[in-house]
Amino acid sequence: MFTERFFELLLNFGEEWIVKEVATNLETNEVDIQVEYCGNGKIYDYAPRRRWRHLDTMQFKTFINCRLPRLKIDGKVKTLEPPWADKHERHSYLFESAVIHLLLATKNQTQTASLMRCRFDVVNRIIHRASSRGVERRKRVEEVFENISVDEKSFQKGHSYATILSHPKSGRVLEVVQHRTLEACRKLVDTTFTEEQRKAVKTISIDLWQAFITMAKEKLPNAEVVHDKFHLIKYLTEAIDKVRRREVKEHVQLKDSRYAMLKNKENLTDKQRIKFEEIRKANYEVSRAWEARENFRELFKNASLEESEEIFKAWSEAVEESGIKEVTKVKETFASHLRGVLNAMTSDLNNAMAERLNGKIQLLKSIARGYRKFENFRSAILFFYGKLSLFPLK
């Protein structure tokens, strides 16, 4: 009786539940605790015996065993829900909480399963449950998100993408959907926000992907589009590389110059810096394309849209005069989305936080060695970077 009373005190399920028996299996290193209901209520019969994984007792895996009573309440027969676990699961709330704590520390499902001495699918299911629970809790609060960011992330090799909605101020992912089509973008906003929340969005930071732009116009009527600074500069960087690849056929000096021309000047190695200066002195088109990009970097953080428009106009004229077709094409793209570009030049909002989240998501992919199913990818992102209320409340 001492052993049963000891475990009864440790489990602390309440006066309605008592420990009837504790069995130890030294061959399998398992402890089975038999729990019975002794509370009030008209017991109709008992459900089949079930076994729940609980926190370990020293080196022994510990399991709670019980035949849950079925009570007759208001003329209906209902199975009593146990206080230690969800009636649909095969592990206790405390076991689930321990798995969540360990996952947050390791970010590794395989390692967590090994340390908790359970199957991988148990850990994976807990990630799905916890992230879904957290999203539902967040939705019930109905926060106001005045500034949001939408970005893409490759899901698998090839052209397989996920679209990620995040909140720059809090640095958390709000939702993830598969693909980056207009339909996917609509779904992203509709499943994340209520109509009132959509109306409260004041700015959305996106790149020039047309599906993002159309979604913002359709779904966020009061939001100003801000085309992300880093994506805009990326377009110019790609233009520089196109010019370099065109000119390298005529100028041997441009061979092996890719990193020298594409990296930020402050990040160049000594060898790359020497190469860079040689190309600039030669005054190739690629060096003038580089100057156009660097001049564009200086156009941001202006006082007003009017000031930004004047500065952008002067930059555009200089690009036209350069006659570099690759850079001119980028300039024309910017001009066709002028309001969003000018907003970027005036606003502090950008996708910097979203890009940092992208880096963290890439780390998740590396640890997991990729994700074969999108559902696993989404749940992992929300679990680790959604800043959700993950733990079971009981």
Across the 394 residues of the chain, what is the mean pLDDT of every consecutive 10-residue run? 87 92 95 92 88 95 95 85 91 97 95 96 96 94 92 80 92 94 96 95 94 96 93 93 86 70 73 74 83 90 87 95 94 96 85 76 80 91 96 82
Long-range contacts of 24-28 (CB under 8 A, 24+ apart): 24/60, 28/61
Residue among 246, 282, 286, 229 at smallest CA distance from 262: 286
Q: What is the pLDDT of residue 351?
A: 65
The residues, ordered by sequence, that sit 6+ positions from 7 with a Cβ below 8 Å of its Cβ are: 19, 22, 33
**Residue labelled with tokens 């720059």:** 168
Q: What is the pLDDT of residue 188?
A: 96
The pair phi, psi for residue 76, each rounded to 5°, is: -115, 145
Identify the sign of the CA torsion 245, 250, 256, 261: negative
Which amino acid, residue 365?
A: K
Q: What is the pLDDT of residue 316?
A: 96
Q: What is the pLDDT of residue 260?
A: 67
Span between the terminal Cα atoms of the chain, in Å: 28
- Look at the pTM and tell me if it is higher than 0.75: yes
**Residue labelled with tokens 């009636």:** 87
Domain ranges of the chain: 2-87, 229-346
Q: What is the pLDDT of residue 96?
A: 97
